[in-house]
Amino acid sequence: MRASSAFACVLALVAILAAPVPARALSATSDTQVVDVDPQIYQRLRALDPTRISARDVSEVLARVPAPRIILLQGSGLGPVTMEPFGEFLIAMGYPADKVRSPRDGRLSQSSYMDSQRLAGMIAWYYESEGLRPVLIGHSQGGMLVVRVLYEFAGDFSGSIHVWNPITDQAEQRTTIVDPFTGEVRPVVGLRLRYAAAIATGKLPRLLSGQWAMIPRLRRIPDTVEDFTGYTLEWDFIAGDFPGTEPYTAIGTASVRNVTLPGSYSHIGLPLTEHLAANAVTRAWIDAYVPGANAAVPANRDVDTSNLIHAADIWYSVKRNWCLSAQRRLEATRMTQ
């Protein structure tokens, strides 16, 4: 064989070895495709009613199955309160701490000034890597970012979004992921979350901050989320919300709920909820809470019930989403085995 021919063969071999492995092939051995859960726990999980999850169900069943990552987005960052206390509340109620804390720095609260495409790309990375769709919960400015990300997935601001690695904090040179359920390569744009929430997010700050693109979109929820809940205060001068303020509505098929919080609550103090998990009375009330049941709030003088309504309502939705996500994930895993 001539030297030139041998050299050409070497080049061809190098090109073959260096070529990227198709994402679909990688997914076949991905850790997200194998979920090791005790068969008895799996059967108990299958039997759970997602709308009636008790404290015992959380500790004995849900705590032993995969949990969706929760991303908490704080307000403007100018105030003394972040979403750290709310993260502590979720952990105290039984949610896995490693699914609330950032894998990069361990924080429970993320900046609401994060670029929305970066956050969307991060969510896609988590979904591909962990096999469950993350949950977004934002307070004030953070709630605006939640809704904006939903519009990013809808393709309103760009036709493609780069995957963002939250551990290296760098964009990856791709705009697609491997769907852990189907094994198919799919774009980041079009991804649909299962649950998201916005707390005390009004249009007035969007106007003052020049966030013009979000003013007509803020209360109209696209189909890139299955379940969305918006929480407003009866009189919220910071958000510019007052009785009769425009409610959140679905553009299409998303299930959208509106919850009005008592006027005695404080806009800035809404994330302060960790005390509710520490008190036996409020914790029991939260564990038993079901939307629409209109259960009387504990009237004990020595019990602090501030922020009880949205804490209980969000915990209910978090449990429901946790149960449904784990059921679907484990069922899909067993179908491929």
| Joined tokens for residue 275 | 């005390």
Q: Which pLDDT score, from 0 to 100, does residue 35 have?
A: 61
Q: Which pLDDT score, from 0 to 100, does residue 129 have?
A: 97
Of 159, 241, 228, 240, which Cα lies nearest the Cα of 204?
240
Sites in the chain below the pLDDT cut of 50: 1-34
Query: DSSP readout, 26-56?
Result: HHTT-GGG-----HHHHHHHHH--TT---HH
| Joined tokens for residue 156 | 């309103």
Of 30, 109, 55, 7, which Cα lies nearest the Cα of 289?
55
Q: Which pLDDT score, from 0 to 100, does residue 174 have?
A: 98
pLDDT per residue over 126-167, tens digit each?
999 999 999 999 999 999 999 999 999 999 999 999 999 999
| Joined tokens for residue 125 | 């990375």
Q: Which pLDDT score, from 0 to 100, does residue 13 have?
A: 32
What element of type H or E holds 6?
helix 3-18
| Joined tokens for residue 330 | 């484990």
CB 194 within 8 A of CB 131: no
Q: Which pLDDT score, from 0 to 100, does residue 328 have?
A: 93
Q: Which pLDDT score, from 0 to 100, does residue 127 have?
A: 98
Q: Which pLDDT score, from 0 to 100, does residue 78 have?
A: 56
Exposure on the CB side of residue 197, measured as CA atoms within 13 A: 25
Q: Which pLDDT score, from 0 to 100, does residue 227 have?
A: 98
Instruction: Detail the DSSP E strand segments found in 234-265.
Output: 249-250, 255-261
Complete domains list, the chain, with CATH: 22-336 (3.40.50.1820)
In which order are the strands placed within the sheet that holds 255-261? 70-73, 135-139, 193-199, 225-233, 255-261
- For 33-37, which contacts have Cβ atoms below 8 Å and span 24 or more sequence positions? 33/131, 33/180, 33/333, 33/336, 34/333, 35/65, 35/66, 35/131, 35/329, 35/330, 35/333, 37/64, 37/65, 37/330
The tokens 């063969």 sit on which residue? 9
- For 24-30, which contacts have Cβ atoms below 8 Å and span 24 or more sequence positions? 24/178, 24/183, 24/184, 24/185, 26/178, 27/178, 27/180, 27/183, 28/183, 30/178, 30/180
Instruction: Identify the three-state secondary structure at position 332.
Output: helix
